[in-house]
Amino acid sequence: MALLITHECICCDICVPECPNEAITLGKKVCEIDPDKCTECVGHYPEPQCKQVCPMDCIVSDPAHRETPEQLMDKFNRLQKK
């Protein structure tokens, strides 16, 4: 499933350059993750890089975008073709 940045985000933007899919952008109050681009780093890294660097521990699984590892890999493959 895609990840979600909660309201605890301080918009430090440290996660933005870590995303290999460029799914994270600066929002007005918090950073935002585009669920159509987020693969939880499947295809790139064993763990989501944004969660690794987040100083606030405010990146969680997005319950509105549940996906299996296979679906995440399919999304990764689609994104690589663009």
Fold of 3-81: Alpha-Beta Plaits (3.30.70)
H or E element: which one contains 33?
strand 31-33
pLDDT of 27 reads 93
Residue 14: Cβ-neighbour burial (10 angstroms; 0-12, 13-18, 19+):
middle
pTM summary value: 0.92
Categorize the per-residue pLDDT at 1 as very low, low, confident or very high, splitting at 50, 70 and 90: confident
| pLDDT tens readout for residues 33-79 | 999 999 999 999 999 999 999 999 999 999 999 999 999 999 999 99
pLDDT, residue 80, reads 94
